[in-house]
Amino acid sequence: MSLFGAMISGVSGLNAQSQNLGVISDNIANLNTVGYKSTVGRFSTLVTQAATNTNYTPGGVQFHPTAMISKQGLLQATSSTTAAAISGDGFFVVRDTSNPGDDSELFFTRAGDFKPDDDGYLKNTAGYYVQGWATDRNGNLLDKTGAVTSSNSSAAGDLQILDINSILTAAASTTRIEFGATLNLEETALTGTPTTSSTAGIDASTTDLTTLAGITAGDSFDITVGTGAPQTITIAAGETLNSLAAKITALTGVTATVDTTSTNHTLSISSTDPEATLTLANNNNTPLTGLGFGTLTTTAAFTPGAGNIASGAITANNSLPVTVYDSLGAAHKLNLQVVKLGQNKWGYELTGSTAAGQLDATTHPNGLVASGTMTFNGDGGLKTFTDENGISRVDQPVTGITWSNGAEPSSITLDAGTIGKTDGIKQFAAGTDANGNLIEYTTDFINQDGAQAGTMVNYGFTEDGFLQIQFANGVKRPVYKLAVATFEAPDSLENHTGNVYRQTRESGDYLLREPGTNGAGKVVASALESSNVDLAEEFTNMIITQRAYSANTKTITTTDDMLDELIRVKR
């Protein structure tokens, strides 16, 4: 009967409006709940039987609470360094225990009011512990085995509860050294390793070399520089040591000097290229033997990788000292030593001590760490900066630097400046200071990024979502990065006590993202997301709900009156 249907329809209206009032009251109650997402009441018809042209059967109304989970709340600044908010899509990943197992349930929340508990684990007001990836000192994400990973290939098992006590003391091993200095253009260039005569009783100016045993006019010998072609020297009648030196110096790539400081004057022959070898060979007869040249083949004075400066075989023109730190925070002194090889070209060696606790002597003979060459343009700017093999050392670290104190091997990038610019090591002529004193070499700066061991003094989130710890030595190190979970249909998540949500079939599977990547919202540090409840809207909805409820009661009372009239018919 339609009268009873009308009454039941009115009852369904009362039920729907009372549920809507419950939604409104919940929204108002959580007005100040961090990260709370409001719920909106929606209604749909309930049809029990299709209407016809002559008949209508009342059905009623169905109530549908709809969560506004994807609606952004206002962000408010806070003084807490461990508070965080998400601007955009996504949720913080949390668990209900600080020691979750593999089968522990994941929850998702926008409530980022995190603070450390007694053990240093970060949890929000509702008691849920936030998760993220552990990171290395460079901010790279690490999986559960400690290997570098990415959010795209990471699983929930790689996430960890954020623990501010994970690193209480830390040292920063040096990974980069920046040099800024001016080398002296007018420095005398190094020459090749010389070979020297030894025959006694020679006066460089007066002694006729053809009077010596084993030497006659017309004798000759060849001089070869590196892999070049031999160049021939012929001894003439009346040849003296000085005139022979002049002949040799006139050759390409060769220089000869006469030493007259002792009773027996001697002749030294070397290549002008310190990186080239020199070979002497008798051509006609044996004049080299007569002059007493015992060494007929010399080694290069400077060879990248050979450690010529480190061994003391040659002396550096200038040295740039720097203190670096290993993984244990121990200090070590290194020196970048340079020697001029030729026009606009310099050799360098990075050296250190092999004393106890310093460089490992087996790995670094004579304390040699690295070597190579650098060249300069005509404007003084750096042209090339190469290693032992002639390969560019720009942004290429020196690896395998081994210490004898038990620290991990170091990897250090040597930064000599920007190629083509004068912002690092450069070459100019010597200058003078304000007092007129000659300044041959200047050191503008030497910077390195290491530090000795220090204890934790502060911690907090960064705008990139890192949990960063600051130590007393000034080092700031990221130790974790917040994970942000995104869903295809976030409004279909299931509400759960504590302002958290559960994944549902309708919401789709979660995807772990780094903040600000692949559609995930950005993390705003030291901020909280307010409830997205609009109080004015809720009061308006309350009035409408109240009126609708009253109207439904009228339907019931009117139907009751009509039924009463029907009953009176029988009387």
What are the pLDDT digits (tens) for 143-171? 988 899 888 777 888 999 999 888 777 78
Neighbour count for residue 92 (Cβ, 10 Å): 26
The pLDDT tens digits of the residues spanning 325-348 come to 999 999 999 999 999 999 999 999
pLDDT at 286: 94
- Region 187-199: mean pLDDT is 94
Q: Which residues contact 251 (CB under 8 A, 6 or more apart)?
A: 223, 231, 233
Cβ 374 vs Cβ 384: under 8 Å? yes
Q: Give the DSSP H or E segment for 481.
A: strand 476-482
Q: Cα–chain-centroid distance for residue 424?
A: 21
Q: Which two tokens stand for residue 258?
A: 């006469």
Confidence of residue 504 (pLDDT cuts 50, 70, 90): very high
- Region 251-261: mean pLDDT is 95
pLDDT at 569: 81
pTM of the predicted structure, to 2 decimals: 0.68
Specify the range with the lowest mean pLDDT, choosing from 68-82, 366-380, 467-481.
467-481
One-letter identity of residue 96: D
Cβ 382 vs Cβ 374: under 8 Å? yes
Measured distance CA(123)–CA(110) in Å, rounded: 13
Measured distance CA(245)–CA(6) in Å, rounded: 127
Confidence of residue 571 (pLDDT cuts 50, 70, 90): low
Cβ 340 vs Cβ 187: under 8 Å? yes
Measured distance CA(496)–CA(37) in Å, rounded: 12
pLDDT higher than 90, residue 70:
yes
DSSP 8-state assignment for residue 74: P
User: Over the chain, what is the mean pLDDT?
Assistant: 92
Select from 526, 520, 551, 569 the least CA-distant residue to 152.
520
pLDDT higher than 70, residue 361:
yes
pLDDT at 267: 96
Cβ 231 vs Cβ 224: under 8 Å? yes
pLDDT higher than 90, residue 46:
no
Measured distance CA(314)–CA(339) in Å, rounded: 9
Which 3 state secondary structure label does DSSP give 408? coil
pLDDT higher than 80, residue 373:
yes
pLDDT higher than 70, residue 255:
yes
pLDDT at 52: 62
Rounded to 10 deg, the angle between the 2-29 and 535-570 helix axes is 160
Pairing of strands 410-415, 176-184: parallel
DSSP 8-state assignment for residue 83: B
Confidence of residue 54 (pLDDT cuts 50, 70, 90): low
Query: Percent of the chain, pLDDT > 70?
Result: 98
Confidence of residue 184 (pLDDT cuts 50, 70, 90): very high
Select from 352, 324, 360 the least CA-distant residue to 336.
352
Cβ 257 vs Cβ 268: under 8 Å? yes
Give the residue carrying structure tokens 């061994």: 311
pLDDT at 408: 95
Measured distance CA(317)–CA(324) in Å, rounded: 22
Q: Give the DSSP H or E segment for 331.
A: strand 331-342
The pLDDT tens digits of the residues spanning 106-146 come to 999 999 999 999 999 999 999 999 999 999 888 999 998 88
Q: Which two tokens stand for residue 170?
A: 């830390």
Q: Which two tokens stand for residue 355?
A: 């004393």
